[in-house]
């Protein structure tokens, strides 16, 4: 069968090797629902504009419903010579309706068709991703009350730095995923502009109504410049970037929890349902879900790179290269969604090793900075206080004790200004209580933030 797009200008059929090489039906089949919805909206607009009759529109829309069912059931035969999903649907329509089917492609090109289909698919995938991010945020938030009294070390340079409340950690991730959700919302604004009616590149001389199809397909508006639109894949790049940032957040979190689940850290125990064993070492419980989350992030970042390279250096407007944009973006969405689907239950089901954490929480002089600030509050210049606390920590290290275990007279040898009130800031618990600033780990502040997020994330929806 000859493809509907090969007109009389061709003197021979397509080489079968070219058909193999150029097909996209193997992956753009995924757009079929959007393609059919777009075609039905287009047919109604054509009828309203008098370009086809109402009866023709009814037959086209009815036949498209049947074709959708066949695609749902997998009974529509896939033919490589039909290249892509657009031609499969159109040919199936022509097979049913003959010349009436041949009218659907009036004032339309596959160039605006594929862009419209993909925009609809992408906006849906972005919304699903947003919902999965919300569920992950809720999983972190859901731990905050129960873990409120647990103090963990905060690290910089992966060296112990200052004490923080466990919920401060959980809410740090809620913040990161919130920014991801904001990026999604912003990205959707540009994704959700309708390209239909741009036709191949310059628009059409036929009296179409682009606003009507845009509204019927729930777009926020129409794209302005046909030449730009025919070439534009910014919405694909942006989505791939948004997904890459999510990947960096997931990967960093996974790395942290892999470390935390080691014997060396001993902070957490992942649910066994999310771990695997070793075929040779019977004692092993490996955090594979976290490792794969870290590992799969590479694919998402690689896909962004692929898409940036794909679209650089293309002259206006549509070029067939653009067909290659779908596999990487599909893969990025699939990968991120599969990671997010496991992340939420993993976060909810992980246990803090409270005793292990508490046993080590006075290691690493997490209260040194708070001691310095205590001296600053009493009027000492910061640089001097910093120097003196450094010397006090050095002395404590030599004696193999914590700061709170140093006798007052030893502290006073270093800083005669100190008195008994210093005890109020020494030790991780006291250091936590001493914090004040907005955004800090002060229990008051963390409470406020839990309250804020509880309201912001709601129960549902
Ligand atoms: N399968 C094509 C794609 O994904 C559809 C557009 C084809 N347009 C064309 N002028 N050959 O880009």
The model's pLDDT over 210-229, given as tens digits with 9 standing for 90+, comes to 999 999 999 999 999 999 99
Same domain, 314 and 396: no
pLDDT per residue over 252-274, tens digit each? 999 999 999 999 999 999 999 99
Q: pLDDT-based confidence at 3, cuts 50/70/90?
A: confident
Same domain, 352 and 371: no
pLDDT per residue over 46-78, tens digit each? 999 999 999 999 999 999 999 999 999 999 999
Is the preceding omega at residue 317 within 30 degrees of 0, hence cis? yes
For position 63, which CATH number holds? 1.10.275.10
Contact yes or no for 404/362 (Cβ under 8 A): yes
Number of domains composing the chain: 3
Q: pLDDT-based confidence at 461, cuts 50/70/90?
A: very low
Enter the tokens of residue 3: 């493809």
How wide is the angle at C-alpha 249 spanned by C-alphas 246 and 250, nearest 5°?
A: 85
In a domain, 141, yes or no: yes
Contact yes or no for 343/292 (Cβ under 8 A): no
Residue-range definition of the domain harbouring residue 167: 118-206+230-359
Q: How far is the CA of 111 from the centre of ligand 1 (A)?
A: 6
Q: How far is the CA of 114 from the centre of ligand 1 (A)?
A: 7
The rounded percent of the chain whose pLDDT value lies above 90 is 98
pLDDT per residue over 420-453, tens digit each? 999 999 999 999 999 999 999 999 999 999 999 9
* DSSP letter assigned to residue 15: P
Q: Among 100, 163, 177, which Cα is nearest to 132's?
A: 177
- Spatial separation of the C-alpha atoms in residues 244 and 301, rounded to whole Å: 5
Does the CA dihedral 116-118-122-124 come out positive or negative?
positive
Helix axes 326-349, 288-311, angle to 10 degrees: 160
In the block, residue with structure tokens 């040779």: 280
Q: Decide: helix, strand or coil at residue 99.
A: helix
In a domain, 163, yes or no: yes
Q: Among 453, 234, 424, which Cα is nearest to 329's?
A: 234
Q: Which of 333, 359, 385 is the last residue of a domain?
A: 359
Q: Which of 108, 110, 229 to mutate to test the pocket of ligand 1 (most atoms within 8 A of CB)?
A: 110
Q: Decide: helix, strand or coil at residue 366.
A: coil
For position 201, which CATH number holds? 1.20.200.10
- Spatial separation of the C-alpha atoms in residues 120 and 37, rounded to whole Å: 10
pLDDT per residue over 91-116, tens digit each? 999 999 999 999 999 999 999 999 99
Q: Which of 51, 84, 106 is the last residue of a domain?
A: 106
- Spatial separation of the C-alpha atoms in residues 433 and 36, rounded to whole Å: 61
CA-closest residue to ligand 1 atom 7? 110
Q: Which of 32, 114, 232, 311 to mutate to test the pocket of ligand 1 (most atoms within 8 A of CB)?
A: 114
Active-site positions read 157, 278
- From the CB of residue 319, how many other CB atoms can be counted at a distance below 10 Å? 15
Q: Which of 359, 381, 399 is the last residue of a domain?
A: 359
Query: To which H or E segment does residue 361 belong?
Result: none
pLDDT at 1: 57
Q: How far is the CA of 110 from the centre of ligand 1 (A)?
A: 6
Mean predicted lDDT score pLDDT of the chain: 97
Higher-scoring residue by pLDDT: 461, 87 = 87
pLDDT per residue over 370-401, tens digit each? 999 999 999 999 999 999 999 999 999 999 99
In a domain, 56, yes or no: yes
Q: Decide: helix, strand or coil at residue 165.
A: strand
Same domain, 49 and 182: no
Q: Which of 31, 86, 89, 111 to mutate to test the pocket of ligand 1 (most atoms within 8 A of CB)?
A: 111
In the block, residue with structure tokens 């290269």: 321
Contact yes or no for 198/315 (Cβ under 8 A): no
Q: How far is the CA of 328 from the centre of ligand 1 (A)?
A: 17
Does residue 7 carry a pLDDT above 90? Answer: no
Q: How far is the CA of 213 from the centre of ligand 1 (A)?
A: 20
- Spatial separation of the C-alpha atoms in residues 218 and 341, rounded to whole Å: 27
In a domain, 81, yes or no: yes
In the block, residue with structure tokens 């995923």: 177
pTM: 0.97
* DSSP letter assigned to residue 348: H
Same domain, 199 and 71: no
- Spatial separation of the C-alpha atoms in residues 160 and 103, rounded to whole Å: 70
Q: pLDDT-based confidence at 2, cuts 50/70/90?
A: low
CA-closest residue to ligand 1 atom 11? 320
Q: Which residues line ligand 1 (CB under 6 A)?
A: 24, 28, 84, 110-111, 114, 318, 320, 322-323
Contact yes or no for 121/30 (Cβ under 8 A): yes
């Amino acid at each position: 069968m000859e493809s509907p797009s090969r007109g009389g200008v061709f003197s021979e059929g397509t080489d079968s090797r070219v058909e193999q090489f150029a097909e996209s039906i193997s992956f753009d089949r995924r757009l079929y629902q959007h393609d059919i919805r777009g075609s039905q909206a287009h047919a109604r607009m054509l009828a309203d504009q008098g370009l086809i009759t109402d009866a023709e529109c009814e037959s086209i829309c009815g036949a498209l419903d049947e074709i959708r069912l066949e695609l749902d059931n997998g009974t529509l035969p896939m033919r490589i010579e039909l290249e892509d999903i657009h031609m499969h649907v159109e040919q199936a329509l022509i097979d049913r309706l003959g010349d009436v089917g041949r009218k659907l492609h009036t004032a339309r090109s596959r160039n605006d068709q594929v862009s419209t289909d993909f925009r609809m698919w992408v906006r849906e995938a972005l919304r699903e991703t947003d919902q999965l991010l919300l569920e992950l945020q809720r999983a972190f938030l859901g731990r905050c009350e129960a873990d409120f009294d647990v103090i963990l070390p905060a690290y910089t340079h992966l060296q112990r730095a200052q004490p923080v409340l466990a919920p401060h950690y959980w809410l740090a991730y809620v913040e990161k995923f919130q920014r991801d959700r904001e990026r999604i919302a912003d990205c959707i604004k540009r994704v959700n502009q309708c390209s239909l009616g741009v036709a191949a590149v310059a628009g059409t001389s036929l009296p179409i109504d682009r606003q009507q199809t845009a509204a019927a397909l729930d777009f926020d508006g129409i794209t302005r410049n046909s030449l730009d639109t025919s070439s534009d894949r910014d919405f694909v790049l942006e989505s791939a970037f948004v997904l890459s940032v999510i990947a960096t957040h997931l990967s960093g979190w996974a790395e942290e929890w892999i470390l935390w689940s080691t014997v060396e850290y001993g902070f957490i125990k992942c649910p066994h349902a999310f771990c695997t064993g070793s075929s040779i070492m019977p004692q092993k419980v490996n955090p594979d879900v976290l490792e794969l989350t870290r590992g799969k992030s590479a694919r998402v970042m690689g896909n962004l790179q692929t898409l940036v390279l794909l679209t650089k250096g293309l002259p206006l407007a549509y070029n067939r290269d653009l067909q290659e944009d779908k596999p990487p973006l599909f893969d990025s969405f699939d990968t991120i969604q599969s990671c997010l689907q496991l992340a939420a239950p993993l976060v909810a089901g992980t246990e803090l090793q409270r005793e292990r954490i508490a046993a080590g929480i006075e290691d690493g002089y997490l209260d040194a900075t708070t001691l310095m600030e205590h001296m600053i509050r009493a009027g000492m210049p910061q640089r001097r206080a910093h120097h003196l606390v450094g010397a006090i920590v050095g002395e404590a290290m030599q004696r193999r004790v914590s700061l709170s275990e140093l006798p007052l007279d030893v502290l006073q040898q270093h800083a005669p200004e100190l008195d008994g009130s210093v005890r109020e800031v020494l030790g991780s618990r006291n250091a936590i209580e001493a914090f004040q600033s907005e955004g800090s780990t002060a229990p008051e502040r963390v409470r406020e933030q839990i309250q804020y997020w509880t309201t912001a994330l709601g129960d549902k929806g």
